[in-house]
Chain A
Amino acid sequence: MKLTSLVATAVLLIGTALLVNTVRAEDAAEARQRMIELGKAHKTAESLYLALKERAHGGRRLAPSSMPDWSGVYTRARGGITFDPDQQRGAPPTAKLTPEFQRKLAERIEMANKGIEWDPISTCSPPGHPRWLTEPFLRDFVVTPDQTYLINEMVNDIRRIYTDGRGHIAKEDRLPLYNGDSIGFWDGDKLVIHTNQLQAGIYQRRNPDYTDQVETVEIWQKVNPRLIEVDVWVYDPPALVEPWYTKQSYAKLDDQNKTLRIRYWHCGENQNNTVVETDGGGTQFRDFTFDGQGSGIGDQGSGGKP
């Protein structure tokens, strides 16, 4: 009798858990689809941004007393080094690519499968945005009334989001930048960002290319004391047949002993980290200094193909 009761309780609990998880999965899928449709309803990132701003009645200006607490050290919560955290393991990226960029992606993956791969950040070039969203190291976020700093430890990479009401740089004065030019506004506790003036790059290894026409709209929100989520729409007409929507997330790390540090990076700190692009497009180390030649720490090394 007792055993029967236990089994019945267990079945009920497992069934409830499965049901809850199924409902959550359906909710997440529906929410994702709504966001995809929202992006598709606007032909440009600027159009989406302006619509969000209108919906927020222009947004609000933060005051020192009303700033959200984004303090702490964070890291990417999901996705590894894949741009879309919801990409299934082993599946292709979820972006809907134009034929040319689909072909480029297929070639990149084919070469990587053959062991031939070169990452442009190998010599400590900045990853650039939107790839910035994916790097797996430490981050912190500094909110001030007129500007928010989004900081990634990797190569000391800082995005500055101007929330004081300014617009973008005039078109004739623009230039392509690693992290582009970002303006934003606050909609309640959500930070809405529009970024343009970006350089071409890759979303990640084994992920597609983007062009210097790429622009993004992001909505950042701290959804609980340990998690910041970001809705991201990427617009890039030469490469994408429709905006690429992804949900990024950053988890606040335990740091009770206050030992976590965001440290300055430079590829010349240790000569043993010097990698070069081979003639065939692969990656190779230069000579190591393990044995009898000093540590190599602090040496610039003999350089490599940038």
Chain B
Amino acid sequence: MNTLRGSAVAALLLAAASSAWAHHSATMFEQTRTITVEGVVKEFQWTNPHSWLLVDVTDKNGKVTTWGFEAEGPSTLQRAGIRPSEFKAGTRVTMTGRPMKDGRPAAIWVLAVRGDGKKFDPREGFQVK
């Protein structure tokens, strides 16, 4: 079941997400709006300088769209507890992100909530600890 909705709740997350975005500018993404989608993991592209979590989202008419959620590379994600083994293909997940301005199905990964309720915030990978 697909849901796609604006998220006022994500305002706090947005502040954290915009604090740093290395390698390339994030100006192709919305700066003040987030979306939330539910779907299943298609593939986790565990690559430098950015990783992509691909999520298949099915709409009410049964059409499947693959969304891509961009995050930092493996070293940073690992520090946030995010690894491919946590997002195997078929895993149910609710993704919150800042979408592309041009309407393509891609977003900055702000928060992932897995089907078992576990949350994954890529920004935690920049925490010094």
Q: Is B47 an interface residue (CB 8 A)?
A: yes
Give the B interface residue count (CB, 8 A): 39
Which A residues, 227 to 272, have Cβ-Cβ distances below 8 Å to chain B?
Answer: 251, 253-254, 259-267, 269-270, 272
Judging by beta carbons under 8 Å apart, are B20 and A80 in contact?
Answer: yes
From known contacts A75-B128, A251-B128, A295-B45, infer whether A263 and B23 are also in contact, taking CB-CB under 8 Å. Answer: no
Judging by beta carbons under 8 Å apart, are B22 and A135 in contact?
Answer: yes
Interface of A is mostly: loop
Judging by beta carbons under 8 Å apart, are A260 and B24 in contact?
Answer: no
- Tell which of A61-69, A172-180, A277-285 binds the partner: A277-285
Judging by beta carbons under 8 Å apart, are A136 and B20 in contact?
Answer: yes
Judging by beta carbons under 8 Å apart, are A80 and B19 in contact?
Answer: yes
Judging by beta carbons under 8 Å apart, are B27 and A115 in contact?
Answer: yes
From known contacts A136-B20, A137-B76, A270-B45, infer whether A290 and B25 are also in contact, taking CB-CB under 8 Å. Answer: no
Q: Is A146 an interface residue (CB 8 A)?
A: no
Q: Which residue of B lies closest to A269 (CB)?
A: B47
The interface bits of chain B over 100-129 (1 if a CB of A lies within 8 angstroms of the residue's CB, else 0) are: 111011100000000000000000001011
- Tell which of A24-32, A33-41, A97-105, A118-126 binds the partner: A118-126
From known contacts A254-B129, A263-B75, infer whether A273 and B49 are also in contact, taking CB-CB under 8 Å. Answer: yes
Residues from chain A with a CB closer than 8 A to the CB of B47 are 269-270, 273, 297
The interface bits of chain A over 109-148 (1 if a CB of B lies within 8 angstroms of the residue's CB, else 0) are: 0001001111101101000000000011110000000000
Q: Is B48 an interface residue (CB 8 A)?
A: yes
Which B residues, 74 to 112, have Cβ-Cβ distances below 8 Å to chain A?
Answer: 74-76, 78-79, 100-102, 104-106
Q: Is A151 an interface residue (CB 8 A)?
A: no
Judging by beta carbons under 8 Å apart, are B74 and A263 in contact?
Answer: yes
Residue from B68, B74, B75, B79 in contact with A290 in the complex, judged by beta carbons closer than 8 Å: B68
Q: Is B50 an interface residue (CB 8 A)?
A: yes
From known contacts A265-B48, A269-B47, infer whether A288 and B104 are also in contact, taking CB-CB under 8 Å. Answer: yes
Complex CA distance for A285 and B27, rounded to whole angstroms:
11
- The distance from the CB of A88 to the nearest CB of chain B, in whole angstroms, is 15
- The distance from the CB of B31 to the nearest CB of chain A, in whole angstroms, is 7
Residue from A122, A254, A259, A297 in contact with B25 in the complex, judged by beta carbons closer than 8 Å: A122
What are 8 inter-chain pairs, A to B, with CB distance below 8 A? A122-B24, A137-B22, A154-B23, A251-B128, A266-B48, A270-B50, A273-B50, A290-B66
Known: A81-B22, A137-B73, A270-B50. 15 other contacts (CB 8 A): A75-B126, A77-B128, A115-B31, A136-B22, A137-B22, A138-B75, A251-B128, A263-B74, A273-B49, A273-B50, A285-B104, A290-B67, A291-B66, A295-B45, A296-B45
